[in-house]
Amino acid sequence: MPTATALTGHTATITNFGPLTTTYSAPTSCSTATDHLYIGLTKEPGILWGYPTCHGVQTFGDCIPSGDAFDKLMTDVYAKIIDHGFYHYYSPGLYCPSGWTTAAALVNEGGSFTEISGYLTRSYTNWLGRWEPGRAQPSDPGEVWKQALLPSETLKICCPSGFEGDNNGDCYSVLGPLSSYGVTEICGYYAEKEPTPIGTQTVHNSTITQWETVALTTVTRVLETGAYKDDFVVTRVPAVALIHKEPDLELS
């Protein structure tokens, strides 16, 4: 499994949630949940720029493997920080959850990256950063995982069927235009002060700055009639990133 705990250039840590060697099945209620919504750009709906309601931390519970660990990490640490977040994976990880499919893949063959597929091949033309507490700055997902994978490791990223992967470690599905949902105001978050560095960590021969947690303030903005009507209401769930080596397949 990867040994990196931070990613250079992405103000993000990376966390192993442990093995996933059987097919995880989420409760049926997860397929109809409507409490993980955000507002996405018209041209790039995977790019979050606000929320239709001020909901606080989005938690996922049993809807993803090790959901309690994800929620605790988000609630206790990362939801208090703006522009600093985490990626997570399961290792050894072999199977997508029930009803999920492979959205992307990548193989590290002795330092050369091959078999890259899915949304890891995409490039983004729009970048927004300061509306998303608890998630890392949007980054090229292919470059993120190239830092993490060790030689002979395979990455498979799973999303629910019908969802796409985004540039921030999530899977998303467009529900419809803002104008169809009666949204009259948007919600976002900002830090009341710039965070102070509290230490450093060396990763891949580069120095990563570690930052203090900073309380976030909620801000709402009333929309004028018809404003942003072509932007989208989007639902999302954290992607399930699986990492394994060939011998791990014997665990299945």
What would the pLDDT profile of 99-146 be if each residue is shown by its tens digit? 999 999 999 998 888 888 998 887 766 555 545 666 666 667 777 888
Specify whether the CB–CB gap between 84 and 12 falls below 8 A: yes
| CA pair distance 232, 213, nearest whole angstrom | 31
Collapsing DSSP to helix, strand or coil, 230 comes out as: coil
What is the pLDDT, as a whole number, of residue 157? 96
Residue among 56, 33, 22 nearest 216 (CA): 56
Q: In what order do the strands lie in the sheet with 12-16?
A: 6-7, 12-16, 85-89
What is the pLDDT, as a whole number, of residue 26? 93
What is the pLDDT, as a whole number, of residue 62? 94
pTM: 0.83
Collapsing DSSP to helix, strand or coil, 246 comes out as: helix
Q: Is the pLDDT of residue 79 over 90?
A: no
